[in-house]
Structure 1
Amino acid sequence: MTAVARRGLRGAAWLLPAAIVLIALNLRGPIVAPAPVIGDLRVDLGLTATIAGLLTTIPVLCFSLATPFASWVIAKADPERAVSLALVIVLAGTVVRSIPSTAGLLVGTAVIGIGITIGNVVIPVVIRRDTSPERVGLVTGVYTSALNVGSMITSLGTAPIAAAWGWPVAIAVWAVFAVVAGLAWTYAVGARAAWLRPVRSEPVVATGPVELLTETGSVRSVPATAEPVRPARRLITWGLTLAFGGQAFSYYALTAWIPTLLHDEIGFSAESSGASSSVFQILAVVGALGVPVLATRWRPRAIIALVAFLWLAMPLGLLLAPQLWLLWSVLGGAAQGGGITVVFIIVVRIVTSDDDARRMSAFVQGGGYLIGSAGPLVAGSLHGATGAWTAPLLVVLVAVLTLGVAGTLAARRVG
C-alpha cells in the first residue's frame, strides 16, 4: 500500500462516521414523529387508542418481519446500495404518511418501517467492515447516539411545527433528513472508492489468515475462509435476542406514550409533553457514548447489568413519583442509549466475517424487534382498558428485567 493511499484513507476516514450520523437521524426520528401530535391525529382522523398505538408498533413490527428481506437485499446488493435504498424508502414513506387520511398514515408508516429495517441491519455490517477494531466501540456509540438525537429533534420540533402549519406538515418536514443523508452518503461512497482504487489488486488464494485493509488504513487479520454461520444454533444469539427484545419493548412503549402519560399525570400541554419526552431521547447520547468507554475496562456482562439497573428507575420512578419525571427520564434515557449500544458491540465482537455480521445482526434485531413491536400496542391497550398507567409501567418493568437477566447470561463468556 502506498504512503499516498494510506494518507488519503486516513484523511477521508471522518467521512464514514459523519455519513453514518446523518443516516442514523432517519432510523428512529420518523417513528416518534406522530407521538407529540397523537391527540390531533386522533381528533382529525377518529383514531382509537389502539390504532394510535399502531403508528409506533407498525415500524417496529416491520423491523422484525422485514428483516429477512433486508438481509436478502444486503446479500444481493452491496452495503452501499442497501443504505441508499433504505433512505429512498424512508423518504417515500414520510411523504405518503403526511397525507391526511388513515390509509395514508398507516401505509406510509409501514413503508418507513421497511426502509428503516434495511438501515438497521446494514449499518452494523458497514461499521464492522470499515472500522478498525479499536474504533468499533466508539463508532457504534456515535451511531446509536445519533439514533436518539434524531428522536430528540423530532420529538422537540413536531408539536411546534404542527401548531403553526398543521400535523401533516409537521410529520412531512423530517423528510429533509433523508435527502441530506443521501447526499452525504453518496459523497462518502465516492470518496471511499476513489481512495481505494489505487490499492486494489488481483484476488489471491490463501489458506491461512489474510490481512484486510479497513477504510481507515488499519489492518485486520481474518481467516481466509469461513464456514457458514447459523445464528439460531448459537445460544448467545438467543440470549442477545431476548435482551434486545426487552430493550426494544421498553423503549418503544415509553416513546409512544410518555407525552400522553405526562399530560395525564402532570397536566403538561402537548408542546410541553413533547419537549419533556425529548429528555428521554437526548440523554441516550450519554449512555451510547459512555458504554464504549466502559467497554475498554469492563466486561460486557457487567455493563448490561449496570444498564438494566439504571433502566429500572424509569418505570419504577414513574409509578411511585411521577412528579420527578425529569430524574427518571435522565436515568432511563442514559440506560436505553447504553442498552442498544452494548448489544451491538457484543454482536460485532463475536462475528467472524461480514456475512456472519449480516446474519447475526438480522437475527438479533429481527427477533428483538418482534418482541419490541408489542410495546406500544400492549401499553396503549392496557391504558385503554384500565384508564391508568400502572399496568403499562409494570409491563415495561418486566421487559427491563428481561434485558438484564438474558443479557448478562448471554454475555458471560464475552471478553
Structure 2
Amino acid sequence: MGRSGWLLAGLLLVALNLRAPLTSLPPVVAQVSESLALTPAQAGLLTSVPVLCFALLTPPASVLIARIGPERAVLAAVAGVFVGQIVRSAGSSLPTALVGTAVLGAGITIGNVAVPVVIARDFRQRSAVVTGAYSAMMNVGSALATTLTVPLAALWGWQWALAGWAALAVVAFVAWGVTIRRSDDGAAGPSASGASGTTGTTGTTTAHRPHEGAPRRPHNGAPHRPHDGAPHLGRAMAVLTVLLCVAFAGQASSYYAVTAWLPEILQSRLGVDVVAAGGLAAPFQLCAVVGSLGAPIALGRRMPLRAVSLTLVVLWMALPAGMLLAPGATVLWVSLAGIAQGGNFTVIFMLIAQRAPSVAAARRASAVVQTVGYSFAALAPTVLGALRTASGGWTVPLLGVLAALTLMGATMAIATRPVRASGPAPGIA
C-alpha cells in the first residue's frame, strides 16, 4: 500500500474517534446521573461542553496546527480523546467528569480542524470522496457507540462502558504514528534530495518548501497549490467562507438539536415509549453513512454540485416538515434526514478543500466556518427546549428547525453556483 493509502487508512481510523465519545454518553446518561448524583442541568453540561469546545477552541486549534503541522496535531487530537475519555469515566464527581469532558472536547476540536487540512493538502483531486469517507467513518463511530454502550454498561457498568471506547483512540494513535513515520521516511527519499519534484519560484523542489509544518508533496501525486503557506483567502474564498458559515450554522444547529430532542419528539407525537423512540431515531445517525458516501459518488458521475446540494437540503427538510404533516411516516423522514445530514456535511467541507487557494487558507476557512457553526450548535438544543416550553408543544420548535434548514438551503444554493477555475471543476473528484 502506497503512502496515500496509509494516509487515508490513518485518517479513517482517526475519524472513528471524532464522534463516538459524544454519542456514547446519552444512552447511559441516566446511570451516570444516578451514580454522580447529578441534576438534569448538570447532566446536560456533560453533553453540551464538547460542542462549546468546538466553538471556543477552534481558533486556538487552528493556531496550534499552523505551529506544529497537521500530522502532529492529529496525533495530539487522538491523545486528547483518549485521555479525556479515561478521565471522564474514572472520576466519581461532577468536576472530574467535566474536566475529562473538556479534554475530550479539546481533542476532538483539534481533529475537526486538522483532518480537513490534511485532506485539502494531500487529497485535493479526490477531496469529495475522501471527505465523504471521513464523514462516513465519523457516523459509523457514532452509530457503534450509540448501539453498543448500553449492552456494555449492562455487563461492566457505565464507567467501563464509556472508557472502553478509548481503545479506538489507542488504535488510531498507533496507526497515525506509523503513517506519519512512513511519510517522513518517504520524504527523506529521492524526491526530497532533489531528484524529482515541482520547482517553485525560488528554484527549490516542493519536497523542501515548508508549508503548514509538512514539507513534502501531496501523497496523491498532485502538485502543490501556489503559496501553500499563505493564509490569505482572497475575495472569492472570503465570500464563500461567509456563505458556508451560515450554511454550517444551519447544518450543525439542526443536527445537534435533532440529536438531543428527536426521541422526545417521537414520544410526544407518536405516543411511543422510550425504547421504541430510541429505535425510531437510530436511522438519523446510521443513514448518514449513505449520504456521506453517496454525495461524492453522485459528484463523481458528473451530477451538478448545486443539484446534489439542493437535493440534500430537501431531504434534510423532510424531517421537520414530515413530523408536522405526516408523523406516521416517521421512519422515512428520519432516514431521509440522516442521509442528508451526512451528505451535506461532506459537501460543505469538500467546498473548502477544493476552492481554497492554499492549504493555509483552507485551514483558516475551516476554522472560521467551524467556530461560527458550532457556536450556534451549542445553543440550539437549549433554544429548541425553550421553544417547546414556551409554546407547550413541538410544532413551533419543528418550525424553527425548518426555518434554519431553509436559510441553510438558500446559502448553499449560492455557495455551490458554478465557478470558472483553471483547476478541477468544483464537485468533481
TM over 0.5: yes
Partner of 2:76: 85
**Structure 1 residue 120 corresponds to structure 2 residue 117:** no
Partner of 1:110: 102
**Structure 1 residue 363 corresponds to structure 2 residue 358:** no
Alpha-carbon distance between aligned partners in 2 of 1:385 and 1:94, rounded to the nearest angstrom: 36
Q: In the TM superposition, what whole-angstrom CA distance separates every residue of 1:288-329 from its partner, at most 9, and x where no partner exists? A: 111112223234333221111000111222333444322112
**Structure 1 residue 390 corresponds to structure 2 residue 382:** no
Residues 399 and 109 of structure 1: is their aligned pair in 2 closer, same or farther, counting only changes over 3 Å?
Answer: farther
Alpha-carbon distance between aligned partners in 2 of 1:387 and 1:46, rounded to the nearest angstrom: 29
Tell me whether 381-390 or 150-159 shows the greater mean CA deviation: 381-390
Alpha-carbon distance between aligned partners in 1 of 2:109 and 2:324, rounded to the nearest angstrom: 33
The within-5 A match list for 1:250-261 is 250-261=254-265
User: 1:78 is matched by which residue type in structure 2?
Assistant: G
Residues matched between the structures, number: 405
User: 2:293 is matched by which residue type in structure 1?
Assistant: L
Alpha-carbon distance between aligned partners in 2 of 1:231 and 1:381, rounded to the nearest angstrom: 40
Alpha-carbon distance between aligned partners in 1 of 2:397 and 2:43, rounded to the nearest angstrom: 16
Alpha-carbon distance between aligned partners in 2 of 1:146 and 1:310, rounded to the nearest angstrom: 21
Residues 137 and 112 of structure 1: is their aligned pair in 2 closer, same or farther, counting only changes over 3 Å?
Answer: same
- Partner of 2:223, secondary structure, is strand
User: 2:261 is matched by which residue type in structure 1?
Assistant: W
Deviation at 1:236, TM superposition (A): 1.6
User: 2:398 is matched by which residue type in structure 1?
Assistant: L
The within-5 A match list for 1:13-162 is 13-45=4-36, 47-98=38-89, 99-131=91-123, 133-162=124-153
Q: Is the 8 A contact 2:257 2:384 kept in 1?
A: yes
Deviation at 1:283, TM superposition (A): 0.6
**Structure 1 residue 220 corresponds to structure 2 residue 223:** yes
Deviation at 1:219, TM superposition (A): 2.8
Deviation at 1:228, TM superposition (A): 4.1
Tell me whether 27-36 or 47-56 shows the greater mean CA deviation: 47-56
Partner of 2:383: 378
Deviation at 1:393, TM superposition (A): 2.3
Partner of 1:185: 176
- Partner of 1:66, secondary structure, is helix
Which residue among 352, 355, 375 is the counterpart of 2:357?
352
Q: Is the 8 A contact 1:231 1:363 kept in 2?
A: no
Alpha-carbon distance between aligned partners in 1 of 2:141 and 2:337, rounded to the nearest angstrom: 17
Alpha-carbon distance between aligned partners in 1 of 2:415 and 2:74, rounded to the nearest angstrom: 30
- Partner of 1:220, secondary structure, is coil
Alpha-carbon distance between aligned partners in 2 of 1:224 and 1:210, rounded to the nearest angstrom: 13
- Partner of 1:153, secondary structure, is helix
Alpha-carbon distance between aligned partners in 2 of 1:47 and 1:92, rounded to the nearest angstrom: 23
Residues 114 and 344 of structure 1: is their aligned pair in 2 closer, same or farther, counting only changes over 3 Å?
Answer: same
Q: Is the 8 A contact 1:29 1:154 kept in 2?
A: yes
Partner of 1:315: 320
Partner of 2:253: 249
Deviation at 1:394, TM superposition (A): 2.4
- The TM-score, its normalising length taken from structure 1, stands at 0.88
The within-5 A match list for 1:285-304 is 285-296=289-300, 297-304=302-309
Q: In the TM superposition, what whole-angstrom CA distance separates every residue of 1:89-140 from its partner, at most 9, and x where no partner exists? A: 1111112222343223333222211111100000011112222x43221111
Q: Is the 8 A contact 2:249 2:372 kept in 1?
A: yes
Residues 160 and 224 of structure 1: is their aligned pair in 2 closer, same or farther, counting only changes over 3 Å?
Answer: closer
Partner of 1:283: 287
User: 1:237 is matched by which residue type in structure 2?
Assistant: T
Q: In the TM superposition, what whole-angstrom CA distance separates every residue of 1:125-164 from its partner, at most 9, and x where no partner exists? A: 1112222x43221111100101111111111112222233
User: 2:410 is matched by which residue type in structure 1?
Assistant: V
Alpha-carbon distance between aligned partners in 1 of 2:155 and 2:270, rounded to the nearest angstrom: 25
Deviation at 1:350, TM superposition (A): 1.2
Q: Which runs of 5+ in 1 are unaligned?
A: 1-9
Residues 158 and 349 of structure 1: is their aligned pair in 2 closer, same or farther, counting only changes over 3 Å?
Answer: same
Alpha-carbon distance between aligned partners in 2 of 1:56 and 1:292, rounded to the nearest angstrom: 31
Alpha-carbon distance between aligned partners in 2 of 1:328 and 1:155, rounded to the nearest angstrom: 20
Residues 179 and 293 of structure 1: is their aligned pair in 2 closer, same or farther, counting only changes over 3 Å?
Answer: same
Deviation at 1:72, TM superposition (A): 1.1
**Structure 1 residue 403 corresponds to structure 2 residue 408:** yes
Alpha-carbon distance between aligned partners in 1 of 2:395 and 2:41, rounded to the nearest angstrom: 17
Deviation at 1:248, TM superposition (A): 0.3
Deviation at 1:46, TM superposition (A): 5.1
Q: Which runs of 5+ in 2 are unaligned?
A: 208-215, 420-425
Deviation at 1:32, TM superposition (A): 1.7
Residues 13 and 353 of structure 1: is their aligned pair in 2 closer, same or farther, counting only changes over 3 Å?
Answer: same
Q: Is the 8 A contact 1:35 1:259 kept in 2?
A: no
User: 1:40 is matched by which residue type in structure 2?
Assistant: Q
- The TM-score, its normalising length taken from structure 2, stands at 0.86
- Partner of 1:18, secondary structure, is helix
Deviation at 1:230, TM superposition (A): 4.8
Q: Is the 8 A contact 1:315 1:394 kept in 2?
A: yes
